[in-house]
Amino acid sequence: MTFSGRVALVAGAGGGMGLNIANDLIAQGIHVCLADIKPAPDTILDGPGGHFYRQGDLSSESFVRDTTADTVARFGRLDYLVNTVGVLLFGEDRSLLDMDLSLWDRVLEINLKSFMLTTRYAVPAMQAAGGGAMVHFSSTQALRGDRAAQDAYGASKGAVRSLSKSIAIQFAGDGIRSNAILPGGTMSPMQARWAGREEEIGASIPLGRLGSTQDQANACLFLLSDEASFITGAELIVDGGATANV
């Protein structure tokens, strides 16, 4: 895939999918700003692309503004934005009838507001660079309801789908593409509760296994690459066939 001379901001790169994607971009020679509220992991790849890490709250406008400006100042441009920030609060996130409203606000700030803010500051930088590409991580949960409701998470991920399409249409004329990935069951730090049960849970997926963060990273890099230059406003479901089997 073609990426030469590009610069990326990966939001939520402190672990899991975000870190996997950032490392794969660095391996392709892309300069990457990794941003997360968590401390920098010690597994960031050392080149060939350059990188730096900014720790802070991606739902804070000042942090996002300064992070974007710092990326452009260090590397001269911004071509890619990847939004992987997300929180899934099992037990606390439940039916809208029972949920604490402060939790609703917190989930929407992390899972949706951060995407809006990174896009808000990335677009002008991409316009200055002559175009760019974004990938926003939603979830297959955005396609369904559940008896064991997780209403804040589901609503936030549904909104990400809509936001990505709106961005695609608004800025297509600037050569900026926006696509969403909808991961299904993926073994990552967010799903640590599945540890030891991978085979059992994977058996319910048509391809016979849980996804990996590498599966999601592979899809993301394709959508960012020049080989996907005619793809925008799309949703790529990466779930081993689970939603096709419903």
User: Side chain identity at 172, as an amino acid letter?
Assistant: A
Q: Three-class SS string for 208-229?
A: CCCEEHHHHHHHHHHHHCHHHC
Cis geometry, peptide bond prior to residue 48 (ω within 30 degrees of 0)? yes
**Could you write out the DSSP letters of every residue in 173-193?**
GGTEEEEEEEE-SEESGGGGG
**Contact (Cβ atoms closer than 8 angstroms) between residue 153 and residue 92:** no
Of 53, 80, 121, 153, the catalytic one is 153
User: Side chain identity at 193, as an amino acid letter?
Assistant: R
Does residue 80 carry a catalytic annotation? Answer: no
**Which active-site residues does the annotation give?**
153
